[in-house]
Structure 1
Amino acid sequence: MSTLFSANGLSVTLGSAPVLQDVSFSVPESAPLVGVLGANGSGKTTLMRCIAGLIPHKGHCTLHGTPLETLSAKGLARRVSYIPQQSGIGISLSVREVVLMGFNPRLGVLQAPSPAMHAAAEQALAQVGLAGFADRDYLTLSGGEQQLCILARTLVQDAELLLLDEPDSALDLHNRVQMLQTVSALVHSGGKAAFICLHDPALALEFCDTLLLLRGGRLIAQLHPKTDPLPETEQLLAEVFGPVQLLRVTDSAGQPRLVLLPKMN
């Protein structure tokens, strides 16, 4: 089975405190959508920032055989797209301008985006449900609309690896599902992978091929919810979320689904 991404011995220490400890895992090309789950302070965001090359760390990451730590900042930006919890955009820009930022790693100094890039930006906005928003001021958007705009920016960046840190935090249920459907379709079209930090384990079970469970900066389990035995999956999820019950059901379209319920005493 071909490996798309691997992490080996990732460790991060802030001051004297270890916040990520010897995390290793691999992602095959057949399972490119990875959900990262854990309580607050478990190391989820640190793991994302570590993979994105934003903080010093021990260990290394490999994407399609290339060690990410050997790439230049611009080379890394071409291959890895990181969406933090907060966009950091605090100046007045149009939605179109924000999305076009996704092309920056491919543009030279003072080079303007091409007409084809402008068309791709419009298409990405339509894809995330923001058709007609291109001329709006980004700062006037709701929190959820801003997150969808940043997702559109990520789509045009066309990176091989997407890192999304709680992209669902300001979205309603409809847009959460749409966002995950969009990312899932993108990575399952071939050659890409996505890591998504999620608070909602039910969404992760519904869409993700692999789940990484973090606790205290350590990787306590790597799960494959579509194939792993339910009792084992329940037990491991309970270490993060408390007692839960998993059921395999068939929805109205005849598709198998995994349903997560709190376990009643």
Structure 2
Amino acid sequence: MTRPVAVLGPGAVGGVFAVRLSLAGNHTIVVAPPETVGMVALAGITVEVDGEVLAARPEVRERLERPVRLLFVAVKAHRLPEALELVDPETVAGGVVVPLLNGLEHLDPIRAHFGPRVAAASLSYFEAYRVGRVQIVQPRPTALVTMASEELSRHELEDAAAIMRGAGIDVDIEEDEKSVLWRKAARLAVLSVATSLTRRPVGALRDDLEWRPRMEAALAEACAVAVADGVNLIPSSQWSLITSMEYDLTTSTARDVAEGRPSELDAIAGSVVRAGERLGVPCPVLSELVSEALAA
């Protein structure tokens, strides 16, 4: 019998992945706290994408205790420690763990719990938000997971990628773990603080005569930290990616801040600032933005 796949945390990201994996024919288990388990068991999960409503009723459990071939960790950073306790490490002893968190510091606690079965991964070209406990909107039907691992074999990563591709999720497999994390973290550190502080979309900020130079300076600092950490990031190339983004795009961090929920500001932007401190690379502009955002 083929082992199931599992999603830890059915929020916006985890919910979309759970629905897509289920509709692709995978036995999918959602792992969540008791209050969420009841709602998913009763109503399933729905995703509205491009005017189409996708619905699935994955299996839902308060704890994962059976072996899986693939586990997505899709909780917010502040919920990670308690969420990891919901999964027995033995369940992924023969599988692959794909963390979908943002920032630079989540791999260590995840690997401390699961061991070497954890890939470095990032999720890009993706936007989704919840409009209810089990109702999600995905404005654009895109998602790209980039993975690398120093421990897992290429074959194991390809097997995990095949499951995702079968569910309509694009996958790139690369060689360097740090590059996978930094290429998103440097850019998102700037966007998360700017969109959270201003409550404005990316397009408005990059056209703003005050905010654009602040963002460009902060991005240059983040790229300098990445270079010091062994990842060659060019600020102009990273800025080109920002200019190619949809005008009305915002960040999940900004949505959380606007709605008074705990945010990932520290986990995302704060982790870049701390990396700069560790590597001796000053980040005065980014540090100021982070301080302003956390104090707001």
Normalising by structure 2, we get a TM-score of 0.28
Q: Which has the higher helix share?
A: 2
Q: Which has the higher strand share?
A: 1
